[in-house]
Each structure stands twice: as C-alpha cells, then as structure tokens.
Structure 1
Amino acid sequence: MAFDVIIQPSGQQLEVEDDETVLEAALRQGFAFPYGCRNGACGSCKGRVLAGEVDHGPKKPPGITEAELADGWALFCQAAPVDDLEIEVREIGAAKDIVVKTLPCRVAQLNRLADDVMELRLQLPATERMQFLAGQYLDVLLKGGGRRSYSLANAPHDDEQLVLHVRNLEGGRFSKMVFEEMQSKALLRIEGPLGTFFVDEESERPRLFVGGGTGFGPLKGMLDHLAVEGFDRPHHLFWGARSAEGIYAPDWLGRMSAEHGEHFRFTPVLSDVPADTAGGFPAVAGWPHDAVLAEYPDLSGFDVYMAGPPAMIEAATNAFLAAGLPTEQLYYDSFEPAAPHE
C-alpha cells in the first residue's frame, strides 16, 4: 500500500511505498530533503508531521528526543508513514541537479597534517569530475563491503582533486589502512557527493562556523567557497581541539586572516591541554559552544554551521537553541563513527 505525502511549505506531493521511509521516497522521486547519516543518528533530516502518523520502528533513533517526538517532529530517514501525511521540511533546492556517481579514483597524495590526521587527496579519471556543494561528503567503498564517509575539505571551484581529512581512529578499518598501508597511486572507489550540509547563500545573516577535530574539513571547504564568492558580512570560525597541535592548518588560517580579516575571525578552543595560542591565534580554554556564547550570547540574528563528533553537536545544539538561535538557522553535520566490525 502506498501513502500520499503533502510537503509544506511548497505544497508538492510524493508517494511513499509501504517498504520505504519518507526520505527514501523523497530522494527516489527527486525531492532534495535534508539528510546526513541516514541511520537516525545525526538529526539532519528532522521535520514536522502536520497531519497523519509515522512509525520510527521498535527503538527511538538517537537523533531525536522524546520531547521532539511529542511535539510532532520526526526523523524522515527512519519514519515510515502509517497513513497519508502532511509534513513540513526544508527542501534543498541547490542539490536537485547534482548527480551522485560511483567512480574509481587514485590516491594522489598522502600528507600528514597532525599525528592523527592525514590529508588524503584523490584523483578522478581524466574524463570525470564530481560536481558538489561545499560541505558535502563522499563515501569510500571498501573491498568486501562497507563504506566510510568523509567530508570534502576543498571548495567546488578547486576540484582538480578531492580532499579528505582522515582521523586515525582506534580500531578503524579504513583509517588504519590510510596511516599504515596506503601508498600513492592506490586505487579506491567512491560514491558522492552526498548530504545536504552546505551554505544557505540566500541568507543575509552573519555566519558562525563551529568545528570539532576533523569537523574543520567541511567548514574549510565552505569558507574557501565563500571567500572566492566574496565575503560580504562577518564570518567567525571556532575550531575545537584537545591541544594546540590539533589546530592543524596554521598556514590556511593565517592566509584567510591576512586576506579577509575585515570579514573573517578565528578562535581556537582547546579542551584538554590549554595553551596561550594555537595556529598562531590567541586560544580559549574549554568547549566550542561555550566560546561561541561568550562572544555571542544572543544568536537570534546568526546562521550557525557545525561539524564534528555527536557529543559536540548535541551539546552545542541545546546551548545555541537556548540562546535564541532559530532551528532553521542551524546547519550541522554529525561525524558518527562506523562500528569497528563494519
């Protein structure tokens, strides 16, 4: 049995088969809904159910709270219709014409950015290009099954190679390969671009960027893109790391500050080993969301872009919404690690 779903505010309609989630049906029919992990962890696909009922399965997904469920919110990557629906979701018009491809590529360069971070540069065949939006990610398809998701750390205008920032995770199947076995010219297969984490360029509000660890990667891509387009408002980057060594892009930070200082600020935030400076900039001790609120206690007039581990995203989301940030002005990508056995 199929169910009809009316999408607000556009008023468009889609049909969901009885073995599909709302997101699966939307993507199949060409609607660009927001999504990230697609496994219920990140919350990117969250929207409201205005009429009808959905089923999230036997266990509540981690990306939504009981209070949000009671208030009519749903995770459309997990929600299956129980009857016909009317929903409210932010459609991503800019992604509609981008084609997701599965492509071979070769490792062009492996550059150590920090003790536990490797820059992986991938070269596509000469006849191929991957069109993407700054902030999107791709999946590396592993031999024997499984995939690993990595955000693109370069901007669309600089797409001769695809750039990933790979953290060396304990027990990580792919990261161990990158750090211990991989050589230049190694052959990989990738799928992308994926995700709907990218800049709302129609907004006129100032922008705050909040990254944790390698969550800096997609934010760097966004800022590189905006810099080429021409900064026309304040942009403030907060980058959280355990110690000063975790701020692994000092040259890029220095160049951005020198070339765009009127519209670009940077604040390193160190949690475990505070230092006076990091990346050549005065550092703040603590957590990224606290550093943001110390500078901007009222967030109602900002757009906020976040990328990093789930714990950081959750803490920052709660704090920022309490500080007046409207939900629709918050964009994030939660870096959910793969299970070790996958």
Structure 2
Amino acid sequence: MSFKVTVRPSGQTFEVGPDESILEAALRSGEVIPYSCRNGSCTSCAGQVVEGRVAYPRGVLPPGLSAREAEAGRALLCQARACSDLVLDVSSERAPGEPVVKTLPARVVALHRLAPDVMRLYLKLPATEDFVWRAGQYIDILLRDGRRRAFSIANRPGADEFLELHVRLVPGGEFTTQVFEQMRERAILRLQGPFGRFFLREASPRPWLLMAGGTGFAPLKAMLEQALQGGLNRAVHLYWGARDRAGLYLNELVEGWADTVPGLRYTPVLSEADAGWRGRTGLVHAALLADHPQLAGYDVYMSGPPPMIEAARAGFTAHGLPAEQLFFDSFDFASDVRAAP
C-alpha cells in the first residue's frame, strides 16, 4: 500500500511505497530534500511530521534521533517509512552560496585501476553546463530502474574539466561489477548532485585532523586539494586506514604532499599489515587518538565505513571533541542485489 506525502513549504506531493524510505521516494519524484549520510546519523534530512505517522526499520530509532525528538514529531527521512498519508515540514531552501542540484548526462572519459578493488573513474559533463560543487560533496549515479549509487567527488572544484570518482568493487554489486568488467570509455551515465554537508569550514581557526577509511579518502583528497590550492594556513594531519597496502591506493601522492607542504602530516594505518610493513597498525581512529588524546582544540573530518564512523564518534567524544567540531561522511554501501529484507 502506498501513501501520499505532501511537503511544505514547496507544496509538492509524491507517493511512497511500503518498503522505501521517504527520502528515496522524494528523490525519485524530483523533490530536492537536503541529505548526506543516508544511514540516520548526520540529521541533514530531518523534517517535522505535521500530519500522519512514520516508523523505522525493526522499530529502532536511527542514531541521530532521540526518543524525545521522535515524540515531538521530528523524523529522519532517510530512514523513516510512512505509516499513513503525511504532511511534512522540510526546509529545502539553499543557504547562500549553496551549489545548485542538477541532473545531467556524463561521459566516461577514462578508467584507471588504482587497486584490485578500486577504480578511478573520470566523467566529463556537457560543456554547456556549469556544474558547481564544494570539495567533499558527492553525486548520485542514476540507474535505469530508479536506483541510485552515491560516490564522492575526489577532485577539487576548478581543478580540471572532469569529475573524479573512486569506485570500490562491492561483491555482488551490480553497478560496481559493471564498472570493473563491462564499462568502457565513452559510456554515458546520468548523475544528480552535488549533495552533502561534508565540506571544509575554512573560517574556523583550529587545526584539522582528517581521517579516511578505504575509499573514504576520496572526499578528503578533494578537501586537501582545495586547501593546498588556496595555500595551507594551518596544521593538518591526515590519517588513512586500510586493510592492507593495496588499500592505500594513492599513498605516493599523499606522501609527496606531506614531504613538500609545511604543516601537513600523513599517517597511514593498516589493520592487517604484512611482515614488511614498518608503519602504524591497528584501527585508524585508535592511532589518531594515541597521537591526539585531547581533541577540544581541533576540527575533525572523517569519511569511511559506518563501523569506523560510529567507533570514532564515541572515541572522539570521550576525548573532548565537541559535536559541532566533528564533520563526517558515512560510506554505507547500497546493495545492488535484490534480496528479501
């Protein structure tokens, strides 16, 4: 059974099915709702339920929503399911300077394998379109059946005429398997974006700690390129965690930055290091905390898989990091495999 959703102040209406989130249905209908992590942590997609009822998978509130907020009608639309017709208050107005979300075709101009399971994809947009984004934001690749796959933009705005994506091969993943086994140069994709609230707050005077897990390096690469292009004016320490050396798929690039840019430090961390590895081992957030046990004086930016994000949030908070100084992007892989819930 489907339900009707009315969004204020836009007045747009759309139908939401019983097995999809309100955000998924909104995006399918063309309604632009702010969102970022899509796993209920960042609260970018929050809305107010004016009329109707919502519920959450397995009856569990998402991590970014308290019981008191839920009782007051606040909902995180990336997780909420409609239980009736709904009227929602959602702020879809762009802040000053916020990039415009566009839906565009893009041509694949190059594919470079950076690791056995990581492909660098270069996309060229139409020359007639001015696509603007903030370093750290992401795009959605629009699949033919209405599904979406999110990928961070890995190059800074204005660096070149292409969008750079880092695509990790997901076992059983229909789209990522296509990228690795079938996609060729000149293929045409459709994308929508930019999305996300993960970008540098350069007005802050504090030093930055950046932490990536796997291909979570992609948005941090764009951020670092942006900071380096403008002249780095503060201390920055990047931590990059991976399972093995192949997971540090652009290690030499970052080492080159650290060797030549004053104030920039780089610490790679492997969780399953081989006998020849002489660097740090273990969990990447533990390495960061060992070096920086007092975090109140830093701004922290992190991106990577949800388990890393959740462990780091708890650890960083315990070490004095205020919530307003923590910015993150959680890479929660969407399943391409059609399976029962």
**TM-score interval for Structure 1 and Structure 2 normalised by the shorter chain:** 0.7 to 0.9
The separation in 2 between residues aligned to 1:103 and 1:53, in whole angstroms, is 35
1:123 aligned residue: 124
Report the number of matched residues: 317
The residue type equivalent to 2:223 in the other structure is M
- Is 1:45 aligned to residue 43 of structure 2? yes
Which structure 1 segments of 5+ residues have no match?
6-13
Give the conservation status (yes or no) of the 8 Å contact 1:243–1:275. no
Indicate the residue corresponding to 1:156 in structure 2.
157
Aligned-partner residue type, residue 66 of structure 2: L
Amino acid at match of 2:142: L
Aligned partner of 2:320 among 297, 318, 324: 324
Counterpart contact for 2:255–2:266, Cα < 8 Å: no
**Structure 2 residues without counterparts, runs of 5 or longer:** 17-21
Q: What is the Cα deviation at residue 61 of structure 1?
A: 5.6
- Cα distance, 1:42 vs structure 2: 4.3
Residues 274 and 284 in structure 1, CA contact (< 8 A), matched pair in contact too: no
Alignment partner, residue 260 of structure 2: 259
Deviation at 1:217, TM superposition (A): 0.3
Quick one: which of 289, 314, 317 aligns to 1:293?
Answer: 289
Contact 2:7 2:88 in 1 (8 A): yes
| Aligned equivalent of 1:337 | 333
Percent identity, aligned pairs only, is: 42
Q: Is the 1:46–1:75 Cα contact (8 Å) retained in structure 2?
A: no
Deviations, residues 239-297 of structure 1 (Å, cap 9, x unaligned): 1100112111133213211331x2111111111225665xxxx6211111101100011
Query: Which secondary structure does the structure 1 equivalent of 2:296 belong to?
Result: coil
Name the CA distance, whole Å, in 2 between partners of 1:142 and 1:292: 38
Residue 168 of structure 2 corresponds to which residue in structure 1? 167
Residue 76 of structure 1: how far off its partner (Å): 3.6
1:27-50 Cα deviation digits (max 9, x unpaired)? x999x96x3144xx1411169999
- Which residue matches 1:273? 273
The 3-state SS of whatever aligns with 1:171 is: coil
> Residues of 1 paired with 2:230 and 2:194: CA distance?
21
CA contact (8 A) 2:137 2:196 kept: yes
Distance 1:71 1:268 in 2: 41
Contact 2:47 2:76 in 1 (8 A): no
Cα distance per residue 1:131-153 (max 9 Å; x no partner)? 00000000111123311110000
Matched, 1:249 2:239: no
The residue type paired with residue 43 of structure 2 is: C
Q: Distance in 2 between matches of 1:276 and 1:62?
A: 45
Secondary structure of 1:273's partner? Answer: coil
The code of the aligned residue for 1:44 comes to C
Amino acid at match of 2:240: W
TM-score after normalising by structure 2: 0.80
Matched with 2:183 is 182
